[in-house]
């Protein structure tokens, strides 16, 4: 019998073409980076905007029941009809907004998909998009992926108001739209009616679209409440409203977001959405559709509870010597570290995680133009159980007293 010798041929490593520049140029998000560091040092996470509070049992029961009702297949492109109707009815009741559920509402996989869909629907290569910094980091990536050019306009301390002169100077013939985030992450600011009217005047006079990210719309603290830009006369025909039920229901993992826009803009958004995700979880949409008409009491109670948490953490952080900006909404507020340290925000956060075992977010990651302003700021998240906040305060107190 012949013995066949197995010959291993040496081959050189195949040289592959590089992956897309979209990926090469993207950094790991600061939330992922801080999350990994927090896990490594077993730190409390007051960093990412995810509460450690579950929805109440009655909401969970309504939503989970839909998984047993034979509704586990694809939903229509625009979303489950009952969900879109619930959204439209809620906007009529809460804001007196006239919303046609069939032609104006599109359900998306969270607000993040809604942001990407909207920017891709409106922005061509070379178009400029104005963003107010500090900004939610998803805006920057979405604009650049669409071939657009982000143009930051800085909102400055102490109260993060918009410098309207700076905004007007930022507008060029290539400007296509403005992104506004109200209530605002990471500052906790709610844009006032007068600010929105100023934005209206600028959008109308320059024929700009307004993309309005309103995922924290149900949170309003210390007597302030949210005003949807689309309710300002003159903005209703040029505004895309983006929101999500995740923040409202303490269920960010459900990823049920939506856009509300005039019919022509909605058609454009759906044109992107159909090839992005096409449809969103059918049973969760149906469940949330049944929750929305019944959740007013829950929203009021949750808002009061969140206000108490905000007040508790804000007051304690101020006592530690960190000058902070009072939050009027969202899960967050910013604190100035320049009076307690000479190091920048990223090094300070790293030290906090390693020594105090508390994870926060360095605010410079929310800036593009005025990073020096961000390097003196850190972001706190108060959307946690009180025992989590109390333990974090105990650790931070010890850290600052050493």
Express each pLDDT in 113-153 by its tens digit: 999 999 999 999 999 999 999 999 999 999 999 999 999 99
Render pLDDT for 332-365 as a digit per residue (tens, 0 to 9): 999 999 999 999 999 999 999 999 999 999 999 9
- Could you tell me which of 170, 223, 230 has the C-alpha nearest to residue 196? 230
Residue ranges for the chain with pLDDT beneath 50? 1-4
Model pLDDT, residue 196: 98
Q: What is the pLDDT of residue 21?
A: 79
pLDDT at 10: 58
Q: What are phi and psi of 362, to 5 degrees?
A: -75, 130
Backbone dihedral angles phi then psi of residue 331, each to the nearest 5 degrees: -110, 0
pLDDT of residue 5: 52
Question: Which among 208, 226, 207 is positioned nearest to 217, based on CA atoms?
Answer: 226
Q: What DSSP string runs through 235-272? A: TTTTEEEEEEHHHHTT-GGG-EEEEE--HHHHHHHHHH
Domains of the chain: 21-55+297-401 (3.90.1150.10), 71-295 (3.40.640.10)
Burial-class residue 253 by CB neighbours within 10 Å (0-12, 13-18, 19+). exposed
Main-chain dihedrals φ then ψ at residue 31, nearest 5 degrees: -70, -40
């Amino acid at each position: 019998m012949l013995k066949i010798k197995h010959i291993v041929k040496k081959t050189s490593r195949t040289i592959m073409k590089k992956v897309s520049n979209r990926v090469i140029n993207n950094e790991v998000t600061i939330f992922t980076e801080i999350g990994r560091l927090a896990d490594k040092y077993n730190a409390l996470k007051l960093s990412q905007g995810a509460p450690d509070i579950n929805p109440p049992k009655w909401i969970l029961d309504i939503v989970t029941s839909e998984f047993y009702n034979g509704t586990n297949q694809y939903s229509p492109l625009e979303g489950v009809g009952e969900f879109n109707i619930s959204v439209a009815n809620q906007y009529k009741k809460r804001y007196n907004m006239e919303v046609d559920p069939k032609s104006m509402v599109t359900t998306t996989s969270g607000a993040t998909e809604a942001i990407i869909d909207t920017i891709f629907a409106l922005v061509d290569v070379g178009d400029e998009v104005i963003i107010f910094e500090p900004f939610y980091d998803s805006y920057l990536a979405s604009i650049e992926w669409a071939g657009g050019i982000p143009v930051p306009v800085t909102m400055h301390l102490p109260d993060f108001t918009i410098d309207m002169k700076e905004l007007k100077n930022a507008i060029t013939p290539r400007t296509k739209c403005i992104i506004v985030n109200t209530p605002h992450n990471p500052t906790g600011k709610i844009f006032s009616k007068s600010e929105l009217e100023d934005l209206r005047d600028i959008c109308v006079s320059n024929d700009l679209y307004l993309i309005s990210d309103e995922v924290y719309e149900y949170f309003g603290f210390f007597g302030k409440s949210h005003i949807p830009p689309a309710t300002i006369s003159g903005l209703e025909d040029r505004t895309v409203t983006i929101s999500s039920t995740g923040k409202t229901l303490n269920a960010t993992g459900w990823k049920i977001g939506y856009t509300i826009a005039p019919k022509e803009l909605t058609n454009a958004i759906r044109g992107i959405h159909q090839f992005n995700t096409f449809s969103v979880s059918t049973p969760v949409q149906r469940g949330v559709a049944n929750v929305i008409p019944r959740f007013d009491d829950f929203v009021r109670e949750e808002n009061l509870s969140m206000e108490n948490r905000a007040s508790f953490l804000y007051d304690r952080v101020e006592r530690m010597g960190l000058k902070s900006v009072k939050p009027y909404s969202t899960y967050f507020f910013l604190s100035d570290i320049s009076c307690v340290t000479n190091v920048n925000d990223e090094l300070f956060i790293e030290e906090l995680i390693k020594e105090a075992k508390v994870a926060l977010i360095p605010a410079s990651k929310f800036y593009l133009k005025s990073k020096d302003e961000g390097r003196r700021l850190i972001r706190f998240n108060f959307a946690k159980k009180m025992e989590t906040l109390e333990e974090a305060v105990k650790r931070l107190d010890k850290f600052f007293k050493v």
